A and B are shown apart, each in its own frame.
Chain A
Amino acid sequence: MGDRSGLQAASQLFWKQGCTMMFKDVADFCICVSMTRRGLRLGMAKVTQVDFPPKEMVSYSKETQTPTDTQTHTQARPEEEEDEEELAEAKPAEDSQEKKADQEEKQEEAPPKELTEEEKMHLLHSDEFLTFFDRGSRIVERALSERVDVCFDYSGRDLEDKEGEMQAGAKMSLNRTFSDERWSKNRVVTCLDWSPQYPELLVASYNNNEDVPHEPDGVALVWNMKYKKTTPEYTFHCQHPVYCVNVVGTQNAHNLISISTDGKMCSWSLDMLSQPQDCLELVFKQSKAVAVTSMAFPLGDVNNFVVGSEDGSVYTACRHGSKAGISDVFEGHHGPVTGLSCHSAGGPVDFSHLFISASFDWTVKLWTTKSTRPLYSFEDSCDYVYDVMWSPTHPALFACVDGSGRLDLWNLNNDTEVPSASVVVDGSTALNRVRWSHSGREIATGDSDGQVLVYDVGEPICVPKPDEWSRLVHTLMEINENRDEGDELAAQRLVA
């Protein structure tokens, strides 16, 4: 295990934040966390209020004896003026002004005299200062980036608002691009996830930066959609490249699950990360260990799951029970499986038996746990498909990304031959990851250049109508029929 403290610190922070996360801090691990927010403990607390008055600057008050307990520069000066006028009426105005200037100088000089350069540097290195600065600079940076002008003439802003409306009608529009010169440039985005607790927070994990070998290999950054500031909210490092970061929320279970390419699945408790709680060997047919490249849990399930492997097969498995281990094999892909997603959009009809897989063989395949042959193959891509994800709200919608920088949205109820919406990211980067936000209205995607792009999806596409579920039932029936027909034809050809 690599940088455990980094992982713990990160997960502690996320715990506080109410998110769940997992770090893959050893190469070849694929980690999935299901944990949740520790309940807040509220109790009565006694508040002791302490108030210190500002330090009295006594050095200049030789001439004035003002009985106020909180003396400040400006308060003292007018009093001085009055006193001077009373005491020295004969003195010409210049003199009294000079004296005032002297007094002012004295009072200006006195404070700086108290802090030498050395003392200042010492202060700047102190812990309290660093804590203060961390918080203060974050707030100030957010405030600086907001251009909300409450005093501005509204009619001048109408043009901006109209632009926003036009964009809303579009299918997919780029909302934000997140990238950090220091921490994300030149690194590949290996994983993304949205916080279930704070929908504006997004965490992205990055691979190592080959150009800068002395910098930490593993970086995870938390980005905030709410504010316009362009720097990450929080930065985490660890010594090993981070491959997978996931925010999975189940109400009660705290479980960190990791699977490695040697076929071993371990479950860890966050309190004790030195050794796993229990291990499971994923072996197919008692001999072949499964080299896992991706993993997915169906909605609400912590026992059954699907894994994709290097050899192109997908397996279902269970963690516990008499049948612990691999259950079924789903063969169909001709290349390593890069991404898996289980259907999660709840609704009148339960489609949780459906899952989709993406692979290096340029296709995305639709499967059902009820059959070991794929239901359908989506073959619109001309490059490795790197990731795929069902929409959390729309039952027939899923997104996929490929190596040519394309982000496609497929709606099974509309068309299964071509995607319903498609966008190509600028620059010649491959898109490595895709993640719908929990609301199903935004999609975050990470590319091979360290950029995280967030797209707004147009309402007509991402918001499901009430009949989507029943339409999907029909669509699936059609797909099933076509598949059986296809099989029959193939069988006939073989015979003939």
Chain B
Amino acid sequence: MAEVEETLKRIQTHKGVIGTIVVNAEGIPIRTTLDNSTTVQYAGLLHQLTMKARSTVRDIDPQNDLTFLRIRSKKHEIMVAPDKEYMLIVIQNPSE
């Protein structure tokens, strides 16, 4: 458990990282470093987007699955590492 904390802290203190959120299969945030409203917003929206991305991948090829999702915007980069049960979301400002 301490390792999980250590890793989360390491990710959070990485250069440019704005926030880290761990979300469960229902879109409920379990761990977060952001404030509540932002967390809920990111968790909800990204959960839906990830579900959509996953279903897109699997509709095209049922034997395929989503492994990583990366959204590059003008200001940030959002990285989502999805899994069957959980999702790790990291928001980074790459220019820092």
Contacts and interface: CB of A to CB of B under 8 A. Distances in A.
**Bind each other:** yes
A136 B88 contact: yes
Contact of A47 (B28, B51, B55, B63): B63
Interface string B1-16: 1001001101100111
B85 interface: yes
Contact of A151 (B63, B72, B85, B86): B72
Given A51-B58, A140-B11, A124 B68 contact: no
A157 interface: no
Interface string B82-93: 111111101010
Interface in A116-158: 120, 123-125, 128-130, 132-133, 135-137, 139-141, 143-145, 147, 149-151
A55 interface: yes
Interface stretch (A106-114, A237-245, A395-403, A455-463): A106-114
Given A108-B40, A135-B83, A144-B92, A51 B55 contact: yes
Given A47-B63, A133-B7, A115 B90 contact: no
B81 interface: yes
A140 B88 contact: yes
Interface in A50-64: 51, 54-55
Given A129-B85, A132-B85, A144-B92, A120 B30 contact: yes
Chain B, interface residues (CB within 8 Å), range: 35 or more
Contact of B11 (A54, A111, A141, A149): A141
Contact of A137 (B7, B30, B72): B7
Nearest to B40: A108
Contacts of B22: 124, 133
Contacts of B70: 143
A73 B44 contact: yes
Contact of B48 (A72, A114, A139, A231): A72
B66 interface: no
Contact of A129 (B7, B14, B62, B86): B86
Nearest to A144: B14
Nearest to A143: B79
Contacts of A108: 40
Nearest to B81: A136
Interface residues of A, number: 36
B10 A231 contact: yes
B48 to A, nearest CB: 6
Given A51-B55, A144-B17, A115 B28 contact: yes
Nearest to B88: A136
A77 B82 CA distance: 26
B26 A132 contact: no
Contact of B62 (A47, A72, A125): A47
Interface string B25-63: 011101100000000100011011001000100100011
Contact of A124 (B4, B48, B88): B4
A109 to B, nearest CB: 10
Nearest to B87: A136
Interface in A133-188: 133, 135-137, 139-141, 143-145, 147, 149-151
The 3 nearest A-B residue pairs measured at CB: A136-B81, A136-B88, A132-B83
8 contacts: A54-B26, A112-B28, A120-B30, A133-B7, A136-B88, A139-B67, A140-B79, A140-B81
